């Protein structure tokens, strides 16, 4: 059986560990590439285009399916601006396409300032409340895995990712031009990119399907790996 080339793009503070369950479950169906931010020069974070082009450069196949979570979903739509002819299908997971308000930028700047002052562990704790719903925080294996992943990325990459996220362009006007088969996936209790953001993405992309995962927050691939695997498997089979 021919395997589909699949590019999985992680988000802020996310190493390839974000997609470990998907790589394990889908490798018989797909040739999977997961970019590792730790191998990239920090200069990729100078602009959205430079980050997106670095991501695409990691995929040797000419045509591929593309999926991204959070900032990875934003980068996926950025990729669609210059490489839509290479993308056979698109999956946007727990993401949003709006630009940042001044209040949101101020919060990001505050987190960067804390990281600069040596309080990266405090920043990680703050991010846990955005990544994982309160009712899942007693799940220590999940929390430990997420904390390990965030620690793998480290403070310098994190700061550059936050700086880039703060200046993102509103990509909502570009969504109706996406023509490949698309699914939009969101945890119902996502605090970082709430469900209404996924709903507006799905409405804007022609024939996009919205899939909501109950009892789940921002990191659907880690919180609900079996459900996410089934969703992505069905999407790849379309």
Q: Which two tokens stand for residue 84?
A: 């839509």
The CATH number of domain 4-100+163-237, selected from 3.40.50.1820, 3.30.1330.60, 3.40.50.300, 2.60.40.3080: 3.40.50.1820
DSSP 8-state secondary structure symbol assigned to residue 89: E
Secondary structure (3-state) at 84: helix
pLDDT at 57 over 80: yes
- Give tens-digit pLDDT for 90-143: 999 999 999 988 899 899 999 999 999 999 999 999 999 999 999 999 999 999
Q: Which segments within the chain are labelled E, that is strand?
A: 4-9, 30-33, 64-69, 87-93, 182-187, 209-213
**Dihedral angle sign, alpha carbons of residues 58, 177, 71, 227:** negative
pLDDT at 221 over 80: yes
pLDDT band at 238 (very low <50, low <70, confident <90, very high): confident
pTM over cut 0.85: yes
Is the separation of the CB atoms in 112 and 166 below 8 Å? no
- Give tens-digit pLDDT for 160-205: 999 999 999 899 999 999 999 999 999 999 999 999 999 999 999 9
- Give tens-digit pLDDT for 59-95: 999 999 999 999 999 999 999 999 999 999 999 999 9
β-pairing, 4-9 vs 182-187, is unpaired
Q: How far apart are CA 111 and CA 166, in angstroms?
A: 11
- Torsion-angle region of residue 51: left (phi > 0), alpha (psi -120 to 50) or beta? alpha
200's enclosing H/E stretch is helix 195-204
Q: Which two tokens stand for residue 91?
A: 């999956």
Give the pLDDT of residue 219.
Answer: 98
Domain ranges of the chain: 4-100+163-237
- Give tens-digit pLDDT for 7-29: 999 999 999 999 999 999 999 99
């Amino acid at each position: 059986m021919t395997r589909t080339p699949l590019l999985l793009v992680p988000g802020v503070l996310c190493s390839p560990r974000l997609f470990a369950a998907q790589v394990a479950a889908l490798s018989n169906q797909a040739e999977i590439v997961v970019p590792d931010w730790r191998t990239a020069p920090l200069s990729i974070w100078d602009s959205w285009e430079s980050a997106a082009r670095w991501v695409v450069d990691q995929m040797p196949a000419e045509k591929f399916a593309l999926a991204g979570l959070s900032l990875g979903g934003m980068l996926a739509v950025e990729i669609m601006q210059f490489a839509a002819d290479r993308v056979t299908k698109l999956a946007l997971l727990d993401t949003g396409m709006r630009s940042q308000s001044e209040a949101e930028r101020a919060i990001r700047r505050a987190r960067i300032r804390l990281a600069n002052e040596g309080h990266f562990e405090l920043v990680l704790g703050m991010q846990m409340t955005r990544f994982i719903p309160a009712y899942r925080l007693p799940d220590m294996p999940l929390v430990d895995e997420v904390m390990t992943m965030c620690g793998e990325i480290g403070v310098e990459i994190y700061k550059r990712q936050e700086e880039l996220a703060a200046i993102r362009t509103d990509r909502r006007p570009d969504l109706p031009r996406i023509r490949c088969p698309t699914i939009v996936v969101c945890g119902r209790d996502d605090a970082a990119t709430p469900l209404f953001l996924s709903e507006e993405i799905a409405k804007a992309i022609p024939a996009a399907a919205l899939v909501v995962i109950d009892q789940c927050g921002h990191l659907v691939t880690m919180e609900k790996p079996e459900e996410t695997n089934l969703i992505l498997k069905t999407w790849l089979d379309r």
